[in-house]
Structure 1
Amino acid sequence: MNASPQQWLKTAEELQTMKAKRAFLDDFMQYLVKNLVDDQELANKIITSRGTSITNFHCHEVVVKQFLGHCFHGSKDSYALSKVYMLVNLCENGVDAQRIVDHMKVMCPHIDVHNFV
């Protein structure tokens, strides 16, 4: 079945919107990490390393709850959920949970981005 020009245009616009939202989330997470971690090499490691084991459960729970509940509503967005590893890395590298939450409280009220898929 061939799509009409209108259907094609609508799909292209939806794809562009999705890409813009994902780029916004990527930028948000990098900005958050780089504002919490002074060491550039460590910040890059936090941004790129996946598969870190969770040992600081309290930090993880508090930070993820803030992120999903007040920033990106990640329980509905798999792309937002895919960025939680950076929060794990922040916690596992000794960044205080309250400090992370405080940064998100400042940044998140200005966000009205949902549905990254």
Structure 2
Amino acid sequence: MGCVAGQGARDTLDPPARTQYLGVDTRLLDGDLVSFLVQIAGEAGQAEAIAYARCAAAQYTLIRGYNFARHVRTSTTQRGGIWEADGVYTISPDLPRGTRTIDAEVVVDDCNAQNIPTV
């Protein structure tokens, strides 16, 4: 005798919607001023899009041979289930003035621990 699915049971289960990191577009705006345009989909929300841009900025800072970045601004939008964040940062070899600074190496390590891709 076989098993019969009960009322309301499904034959297949939908896989969980996971965060999909759709890429980074890096734009050098002026000297040390850089924009990071990122897109994510799935379970992701605004906070994840902002974190993705921050991770991209930190890795780019290291790639350029610098140690620090200062957050200038981030704007976000959502269209058709895709979150987009445009984060603008200045990068520098020395700790810049201001309160919104990041130590690139520390941030990249944190991004790796959270499985957020970098550039």
Per the normalisation by structure 1, the TM-score is 0.30
Q: More strand by proportion, 1 or 2?
A: 2
Bigger fraction of residues in helix: 1
Q: Which fold has the larger relative contact order, with Cα–Cα distance below 8 Å and residues 6 or more apart in sequence? A: 1
Rg larger in structure:
2
